[in-house]
Amino acid sequence: MASGEWSAENSSRLGMVVAGSLTEGVQVKLDPDSSVESVKVGAFVTLQGERMRFFGVVTDVSLGSTDPMLSASPPDVSDPYVAKVVSGTAAYGALTVEPMLTISGDDPALLLDGPQPAKTVPAHFAETATATERDIELVFGSEGDGHFWIGSPLDMDTRLCLDVPELVMRSNGVFGKSGTGKTFLTRLLLAGILQSRAAVNLVFDMENEYGWRGYGEGGSEVKGLKQLFHSQVAVFSLDEESSKRRGLTPDYVVRIGYGEVQADDIQLLRETLDLSDVAADAAYSLERHFGEGKWLAEFLAVRGREGIFELADATGVNGNALLRLQNRLRRLERLGFMDDTGHDSVKQILRYLDRGMHVVLEFGRYGRNLAAYILVANLLTRRIYDRYVERKESASEDKSAEPRPLVITIEEAHKFLTPGVASQTIFGTIAREMRKYNVTLLVVDQRPSGIDDEVMSQLGTKITCLLDSERDIDAVLTGTSGSRKLRSVLARLESKQQALVFGHAVPMPVVIRTREYGSPESYQSLGWKDAEAMRAQLEQDVEDLFG
């Protein structure tokens, strides 16, 4: 199709551009036979200008008239003929459309780099039509070649995709209040990363939702990543008994040694353990006194108030603060995965990641213990990150020796990334470094306002379900251009199966109806085969080989 021509293939003409601007959007007068009730805010449209074709989104729907007296003295529309004459001429529907991208035209960049941000508007009388499936694919890409189907535009059945290689280049976030489908969205994102082979996943699975099985609305079971992608996923467990009760034999049982805990780990537990600043900082004095790798076991071995106060004199720490710290840290002795030796679980995790396998660490009954979750996630991430830094720097002259890109998923992310500690934690470091050492985060949270503003501004792509707190909405939109318009979009999301996606993995902000997850059809669309299909495939393979 030559530039300047408009094709009606698989689209419906709506009307024409009559006014507008780039900042406020263009005004489209609907044709007489276009019903204003059939067009909704958020719908995608195309505008065919003289030299360029634009891709835009409807931001407002209104009614207009050529005669101001019509609103004061409406005509008698009981006569169908009068109604037909008046409707669409003297009275008409109108749209406000924001041109987002140019998708064809004379710009050479469109041929090389695809759709580009719109920097002008179409001319008067540019024809406006509903976007087609081909338009959506042109803008958001089609399945395969690094693109993953995440959902559909509202009021369309077209598959809308994320650019997964672009997604894993930076840390990202999934947000929404409880019950809006964050877990389902996260499962889909993890499956997309797995299928694209753009990175490997390490998931700290607080609620045991991602490994073998999870639960949907009403308590119905849904398959986890291990069932769908059996040979590509390993499930580690902190609680072997819990895993077996749920029908899973874990690939590895994780143990944490007291010697692996550092004073930095205690800082992150300050709020959870209700420690004062003095008590939390005392861990550093103890680490210097007893030595790294020994301090926690030696400290917990001190018995009685008298012993604690003698230690306080030796370390120069307030005795009551030291007593409170020990009382709180004794909770760690009740965690079944803590022992005196440890088993270098980091080495085991890296073995699987290096083979291209994705690791889900289930917490079992310890997922209900926030201190256990924070301690283990922080401790393992810090040590894995240190190994990645060493290997990345060693491979500075040999790119093939670099470690595989890694995405680390954490839930309750605000506990790790609060403004007071984000600059000191390994998670804050990873978020700010933007994959400098091939490690990024996927943060999942219902309270984004609790996350440090700098960290939020560094998240490359945000997928946001409904939020009902103004502070949470402000936090999600931190550092985002056009935040005023996106705020109104967020406010109109439905409570389930809808999300606003914006950032580097999509060329423009978009509201989606999220892809289904939980039915046999949804599993098959992800590549899963049931027993009957696998048997048929095996028989076909045997026939092909020996037939």
**Sequence-ordered list of residues with C-beta below 8 angstroms from that of 281, at least 6 positions apart, any chain:** none
Whether residue 186 is found in the same domain as residue 66: no
The structure tokens 């920097």 sit at 119
For residues 192 and 270, state if they share a domain: no
Residues 389, 291, single domain; the answer is: no
Whether residue 7 is contained in a domain is answered as no
DSSP 324-357: HHHHHHGGGGG-TTEESS---HHHHHHHHHHTT-
Domain count, the chain: 3
Let me know if residue 530 belongs to a domain.
Answer: no
If you search the block for the tokens 């020996």, which residue do you land on? 546
- Edge-to-edge strand list for the sheet holding 200-205: 160-163, 147-153, 510-514, 498-503, 461-464, 172-175, 439-445, 406-411, 200-205, 358-362, 233-237, 252-253
- The tokens for 337 are 């995965």
Tell me whether residue 508 is in a domain. yes
Q: Given the structure tokens 């290096």, which residue do they identify? A: 354
Contact between 442 and 360 under an 8 Å Cβ cutoff? The reply is no
Amino acid identity of residue 457, one-letter, is S
One domain, residues 220 and 266: no
- Mark whether 242 and 216 lie in a shared domain: yes
Token reading at 274? 């209700």
Q: Give pLDDT tens digits along the chain (547 positions).
A: 333 344 445 568 999 999 999 989 999 999 988 888 888 888 899 999 998 999 999 988 998 887 776 665 676 566 665 566 566 567 788 999 999 999 876 666 555 567 889 999 999 999 999 999 999 999 999 998 899 999 999 888 899 999 999 999 999 999 999 989 899 999 999 999 999 999 999 999 999 999 998 887 667 889 999 999 999 999 999 999 999 998 899 999 999 999 999 998 998 898 899 999 999 999 999 999 999 989 999 999 999 999 999 999 999 999 999 999 999 999 999 999 998 876 789 999 999 999 999 999 999 999 999 999 999 999 999 999 999 999 999 887 787 788 999 999 999 999 899 987 888 789 999 998 878 899 999 999 999 999 999 999 999 999 999 998 999 999 999 878 777 878 888 888 888 889 999 999 999 999 999 999 988 999 999 988 764 554 554 455 555 555 5
Does one domain contain both 349 and 217?
yes
- Domain membership of residue 69 (yes or no) is yes
Same domain, 61 and 95: yes
Shared domain for 262 and 247, answered yes or no, is no
Domain boundary residue, one of 288, 310, 334: 334
- Output the CA torsion 343→347→350→354 (10° steps): -130
Strands (E), 379-435: 406-411
Whole-model pTM: value is 0.87
pLDDT at 81: 56
Residue 542 resides in a domain: no
219 and 286 together in one domain: no
Q: Hey, what are 290's tokens? A: 């007893």
What CA–CA distance (Å, rounded) separates 1 from 162? 27
Parallel, antiparallel, or unpaired: how do β-strands 338-339 and 256-257 relate? parallel
448 shares its domain with 518? yes
**Are 353 and 462 members of one domain?**
yes
CB atoms within 10 A of CB 497: 17
- pLDDT score at 319: 94
Is residue 248 a part of any domain in this protein? yes
Q: Which residue has the tokens 């423009």?
A: 508
Residue 5 pLDDT:
41
Are 269 and 192 found together in one domain?
Answer: no
Sorted by sequence, the CB contacts under 8 Å of residue 317 that are 6+ apart come out as: 278, 282, 285, 286, 311
Strands 461-464 and 510-514: unpaired
Euclidean distance between CA atoms 533 and 522, whole angstroms: 15
First and final CA of the chain: distance in angstroms? Answer: 49
Q: How far, in Å, CA of 367 to CA of 388, rounded?
A: 27
Which DSSP letter does residue 218 get?
G
Q: Residue 296: which domain range?
A: 258-334
Among 140, 171, 204, where does a domain finish?
A: 140
Quickly list DSSP for 77-114.
Answer: TTSHHHHHHHBTTTEEEEEEEEEEEEEEES-HHHHHH-
Interatomic CA distance for residues 232 and 255, integer angstroms? 23
On whether the CB atoms of residues 476 and 490 are closer than 8 A, the answer is yes
Q: Check if the beta carbon of residue 220 is closer than 8 Å to that of residue 516.
A: no
CATH number of the domain that 451 lies in? 3.40.50.300
